[in-house]
Amino acid sequence: MERLAKIARKLSDASIKRYNSPYEEFQWPENLSLDDWHFSPELISIYGLEEFDALNDAQRKKLAFWETVNFFGINIHGEKALIGGLAEHLYYMDWSPELSEYLHHFLDEENKHMTVFGTFCHRYGKKVYADKKMSFPRKYEKGEADFLFFAKVVIFEELVDHYNLAMGKDERLHPLARQINQYHHNDESRHLAFGRELTKKLFEQWSPTWKPETVAGVQSYLANYMVSTWREYYNPAVYADAGIDNGYALYQKAWDAPVCRAHREAVSRSCIDYFLENRMMTEAPAL
Amino acid sequence: MSNFKTQIRDWILAKNPKVDGAVLTDDAPLLEKKILTSIQIMDLILYLEHLQGRPVDIDQVQPENFHSLNTIHAAFFAAAG
Ligand SMILES: [Fe+2]
Ligand SMILES: [Fe+2]
C-alpha cells in the first residue's frame, strides 16, 4: 500500500488546506427564477430529440430546473450509499493509517455535499426525487465486496464529475448552480484520484485469488452498474414536473435514442478506458 | 388473470426477446431463472410507477418483491386486483 499511502497523505493535506464550511460558502436566495438557466441545455437528458426542439425558451428553462433537482438528487442518493461504505472502511483490516486519515476527509466532504444538494432540492424543488436503485444481497469472495464498493464509487463519481466540470464553467448558468457544480468538482477531483488508485490496487490484490466465474461476474456487474447509473439521468417525473405530456413514453424514447446513447458513451469514455486498461471490464458496456 | 399481471408479463417478454413465454409462469423465479436481470429492475420500477400512476417508494420495497410475477403483483397491485 506504499504508493497508495503516499497519495492518501497528499490528498489529506489538500483536503485540510481546502477545509471549508458549506454553511459559510453558500448564500441561498429566497427563490430562484425560471428565467435563468440552472442546468446546461446540452446536458438535458432529452437534448437532441425533437421533443426538446419543440420546447420554447421558457419551457426549456423549466425543464432545466427540474433536471437540476434530479441531478442533485442522484448525487444525494449516491453519496448516502457512499458515506455508509466509507464508514465501514475506516480503521479497516490491515489498511495503513494514511487511508483512514483520508477516508475521514472523504466522508466529511461527502456529508457536506449532501447538505448542499439537499438544501437546493428542498428549498427550490420542495422535494428530492426518489432513489430507484435496488441492491440484491448475495455472497462474496474475499476482497470482492471491498473492490466492488470502490469501483462503483469511481463510476458514480466519474459521471457526476463530467457534469460538474462542464456546468461549473458554464457562464449561462445562474451563479448558485454554477457555484454548486464548481464546489463539488473541486472535491471530486481528489476523490477520483484516490478512488481510481485504490480500486485498481484492490483488483490487483484480490482478483488473482478469485474463481474465474467471480472475475467474470464482477466484470459484467460493473458494466451493468454503469448502465443502471445512467438510467437515473432519465426521469419520467422530471418531464412531468416540467409540464411535458406522457413523461414515461419520453423516458423510454430518450433512453433508446442514438443521440442520447452517443452522449452517454462520450461522457463515459475515459471511465470505461480506465476499467478496460486495468482489466476490470472486458468490453465496453452497452450503454 | 389480472390485467396488471398480463401487462408486466408482456413488458418482461418485450425486454427479453430470448425468453420463452412458456417459462414465464406466474410463479417462475425471475432472477434465478434469468428471465429478468437485476439491471432491469430499475427500468421495471419505472414501468410499475407508470402502471400505478404514482411513485414507488424504494425504501418500502424488498428484493423478495421481485421474486415472481405473483410477488410483484401482490406487492404493487394487491389493492387494485
Ligand atoms: Fe460528493
Ligand atoms: Fe465525492
Residue B81 has pLDDT above 60, yes or no: no
**Which domain, by its residues, includes A226?**
2-8+45-129+138-277
Determine whether the interchain pair B57/A130 forms a contact, defined as Cβ–Cβ distance below 8 Å.
yes
Among residues A261, A228, A255, the alpha carbon closest in space to that of A156 is found at A228
Structure confidence by residue, pLDDT tens digits, A6-30: 999 999 999 999 999 999 999 999 9
Q: pLDDT per residue over A76-88, tens digit each?
A: 999 999 999 999 9
Taking only the tens place, the pLDDT of each residue in A196-232 is 999 999 999 999 999 999 999 999 999 999 999 999 9
Integer Cα distance of A79 and A76 in angstroms: 5
With CA atoms as reference, the chain B residue closest to A220 would be: B39
Angstrom CA distances, A66 to A3, A174, B43, stand at 43, 14, 20
Cell of A232: 437515473
Residue A27 lies in a domain: no
Listed in sequence order, the DSSP H helices in A89-211 are: 97-120, 144-168, 175-206
Nearest-CB residue to B63 (from A136, A224, A251): A136
Distance, in Å, from the CA atom of A27 to the CA atom of B8, rounded to the nearest integer, reads: 47
Domain assignment of residue A17, yes or no: no
DSSP B66: G
Q: Domain B3-80 - what CATH class?
A: mainly alpha
Cell of B24: 414465464
- What is the model's pLDDT at position B80? 62
Split at pLDDT 50, 70, 90, the class of B6 is very high
* The three grid cell numbers given for residue A286, joined into one nine-digit string: 452497452
Collapsed DSSP state (helix, strand, coil) of residue A284: coil
- Which residues are near ligand 2, the ion (C-beta closer than 5 Å)? A 188, 191
CB B56 within 8 A of CB B50: no
Q: Higher model confidence: residue B37 or residue A101?
A: A101
Task: Spell out the SS3 assignment of A203-225.
Answer: HHHHHHHCCHHHHHHHHHHHHHH
Q: How far is CA A224 from CA A29, A141, A284, in A?
A: 40, 19, 10
Query: What residues of chain A, 24 to 43, have a C-beta less than 8 Å from chain B?
Result: none
Q: Give this complex's ipTM.
A: 0.88
Q: Give residue limits of the domains in chain B.
A: 3-80
pLDDT value of residue B68: 95
> Can you say whether the dihedral through the CA atoms of A246, A266, A118, B41 is positive or negative?
positive
A112 CA distance to ligand 1 centroid (A)? Answer: 8
Q: Is A205 on the interface with B (CB under 8 A)?
A: no
Mean pLDDT of chain A: 96
**Gap between the terminal Cα atoms of chain A:** 34
Asked if A241 reaches chain B (Cβ–Cβ under 8 Å), the answer is no
Residue A235 falls inside a structural domain: yes
CA distance A22 to A17: 15
- Kindly report the nearest CA distance between residue B28 and chain A, in angstroms: 18
For A29, which DSSP code? Answer: -
Question: Where residue A250 falls among pLDDT bands split at 50, 70, 90?
Answer: very high
For residue B44, pLDDT over 90 is answered with yes
CATH of the domain at A152: 1.10.620.20
pLDDT, tens digit (0-9, with 9 covering 90-100), for A97-152: 999 999 999 999 999 999 999 999 999 999 999 998 888 888 999 999 999 999 99
Q: How many domains does chain A have?
A: 1
Residue A111, in any domain of the structure: yes
